[in-house]
Structure 1
Amino acid sequence: MRSKTNTFFSTDREVQNLKAQLKRYTVKDKLNNGLFIEVKDSGIKSWHYRYTLNGKQERLVIGRYPDLSLKEARQIRDESASMVAKGISPKKEKDARKAGKSNSILFKEYGETYLNEVIKKDRKNPYNMILCLNNDIYPLIGHIPLKDLTVNDIRKVIWRKKDQGYDSAANQVRGLLKRMCDYAVTLGMIQFNPVLSIPSRHVCKPKPRDRYLKESEIKIFYKAVFSSRIYKPRKYGLLLSLLTLVRKSELLQAKWEDIDFENRIWLIPETKGDGKSGHSREMIIYMSDQIISILKQLKIIAGDEPYVFVGRKKGTHISHNAFNTAQKSVLAGITTLVPFTIHDLRRTASTHLHEQGYSSDVIEASLNHTIKGVRGVYNKASYKQQRIQMLQNWSDHIYKIIGDIPLIDLTL
């Protein structure tokens, strides 16, 4: 490798101005010993760090410019120099990590590899997994070397959720940790999966939920919602959840391009996958007068944004927990209500509609559930008129229950 005599750089602009020549050359950092940049005849620029360890000179390839800025390269150089001072070879450590055999690779570092190599390839929307990693796993064990992970470390993560009263969520955390450690065993990074020592049945015993709101509870809750100080779209969202029978994820991801006011339909192009097949199904909501009025109010608030429920950043929808947070805020002031989830509003609608004598097939179609047996073969569109009438009657019924509060002007 050829070196330009007495050539140094000290600013990013000087690095940027380095031009390709007939032969590759290197330029040293004036401020940091051992850091230099190589400029190839192709114009590619790469950061390197040269150091001496145990009497032998080694060279660490840091990365390319401008993918890594001068500031970032200097930071890596300083971290590497600290390793050299402790007798550790940065180059050998990097090579070991590439081979997946580093003795010091942290669980968080491995987790990011698993996220990119497995989760993002297997799941179209990895949002919930990323949330679980960042909120429930990394804060407790992200700093621990993968090879040193113990059963007690795993138990600490899982039982944190159990102690918070979220057994089902704790089991989901366990499932993610098990899959991550299975993959680490496959790669030869660990010899044994510590999660296997904590059986799922000891974490959570699934119970079929049967919570639904009685008519008196519906009135109490929604009077509290509309008299609260939570953001107006959240109030409308909590009401739409009951009126439309849709899942929370389908509601918060609703787009204006899928809502046809003229034909009174809301198309949900992709719903949550079926629990058994994993396949998603298209869904149509036949909008009642009340649903249309609410959505028109939300359109005024949303303006030109693509989503019905606008997120903090332009072009995004609200977060996964936005409706949960709003609901919990309201429930905090109501001591007479037994706690319930947003999903329980779907069960509330289904329960009352069954009690009112509507056909199970029509209700299941409105919930976008798979209808079992021979009846499931028939096209759900055959229930169109029944569903239109049912949802309009349901909206009328709910508005009558809630009573004399300023809901939404139906003349809009």
Structure 2
Amino acid sequence: MALTDAKLRKLKPDAKAYQMADDGGLFLLVQPSGRKSWKLRYRMGGRDAKQEKVTLGDYPTYSLADARSWRDDCKALIGRGLSPMALRRGDPIPDDATPAAKELAELFIRHWCVAAIERARQQEAEAKASNTVEAFAWEWFQKIAEPANSNPRNIKRVLDKDIIPAIGGKALDEVTVTDVLAITDKIKNRGSDQMALQTRNIMKRLFSYAIAREKMTSNPAAAIEAKYIATAKSRDVALTPDEVGRLLRAIYQSSMNRSHKLALHLLILCMVRKSEMIEARWEEIDLAGAEWFIPGERMKMDHPHFVPLSRQAVAMLEELKGLSSGSEWVFPSRNTLSKPISKTTLNSAVRSLEHDVRDFVIHDFRRTASTHLHEAGFNSDWIEKALAHETKGIRGVYNRAQYADQRREMLQWWADFVDSQIDEGRKVIIGRFGKAYQAG
């Protein structure tokens, strides 16, 4: 059955190449990649002669009408003893061809062979242009980055200011680690180490998408570790609300152990030190009363510490109760239930994350909570007590109260605030301690 324009538009690639035939030996070859090429089968000298094949070019660059006109011209050549494949290949016109045959061959070469070469060059140029960093970066920004970020203007500014001016004209598969380092070094020379790291992270996400689209085979930005670009000092770091949300989304979308995800989330909510969290015992925790009493021997200042638990924290601990398999430890080691997880377990989990949040250490969770609680107007004494900081001097004598009710209200506000950051920008399933639980 002859092809139609409607049928051609509906053709889809398959796992293997296949052919769609038209009349007179003309057919369309459909490759698994989606490329579609017009070809013609014919024989020179009758049925017993060897079959030859010649290619016109790609569809839809050449329409069905173009292909049929080309087929008819090829047939006219064949009828005069001339091979379209030989002419397409650039072989000279045979000396013994008739004047009419030579004239027809010259017309065929000008109209089809030369034109096909020019069109192929044009296609190659167009394909190369579409594979440049600039063209692909804006495609990625519109399809991926802009919809997924609550503030995509920062990404657009980085693309406009630093990435595209430097490597926008390069083909994606030509970008090297040296190119990435040249961009980040230039930014660092402006005195903006953290912006250099952010720019590297944007390139890493861009090139990761290019790999998924089969435009690249390796990620030159991923080959450069963040610590070689910028290392933020712990005392300088307090995560922004947006960074808190992005970090927790990355944690919950990662493949790390579920109990480790909950431990990191609880560290943010409870404002305790890492050692106080990982060495927690169930005997310290009163789930019914939503309270956690840490004995003095486990505290840095040797004073017992009381942590009011938010609704979210209680729900996480209830889940952890089931995950702990009867161990006395809230976070038992995977190798033996008689010991807690090691001091490096959560650090390793954080280092394994794929995220675009600046460098930080787990201890920065406490500073982050303190910063945002102060900005929200909560009393400094409540915050310091939540951090188990001892106030010295006369003020400390009068501030020995636990501020239990105030801290309970404050930590519930903080847990709700953190939840709102997780939900900002995109949804992620974190567990039953989300909004539905709070409503109860």
TM-score band, normalised by shorter chain: 0.3 to 0.5
More helix by share: 2
- Alignment TM-score, normalising by the size of structure 1: 0.46
Structure with bigger gyration radius? 2
- Alignment TM-score, normalising by the size of structure 2: 0.44
